[in-house]
Amino acid sequence: MSDEQGGIEQKASDIADESVAKSGEIVEGAEQILGGDLKGGLAKILKAAGDIATGATEKGLEIAADVVSKAKKPTETEPTETE
């Protein structure tokens, strides 16, 4: 596996790890709601969902930038303008 591919896979893994960690906060928010704390529970759920979306977007943009960067690099098999 190339270093670039490994970097992309690591970033995708980071998205999954963060999502799993934040999902626990969503469950805690649901528990608060069931316990009668509607405002606190919803706030916790919305914050965790926002954190998941923000983190996934940031890492997704990094992955996209890596892919675009790689696509712009000429390979050794491509002829140059001087050839």
- Asked if residue 78 is part of any domain, the answer here is no
Quick one: pLDDT band at residue 68, thresholds 50, 70, 90?
confident
Q: What are the tokens at 35?
A: 């316990």
- Asked if residue 77 is part of any domain, the answer here is no
Query: The domain containing residue 28 runs over which residues?
Result: 8-67
- Asked if residue 1 is part of any domain, the answer here is no
- Number of domains comprising the chain: 1
- Asked if residue 35 is part of any domain, the answer here is yes
- Asked if residue 15 is part of any domain, the answer here is yes
- Asked if residue 73 is part of any domain, the answer here is no
Report the Cα–Cα distance between both ends of the chain, in Å, rounded: 31
- Asked if residue 44 is part of any domain, the answer here is yes
Quick one: pLDDT band at residue 6, thresholds 50, 70, 90?
confident
- Asked if residue 81 is part of any domain, the answer here is no
Task: Give the pLDDT confidence score for residue 13 in this predicted structure.
Answer: 93
Using alpha carbons, select from 50, 63, 54, 46 the residue that is nearest to residue 7.
63
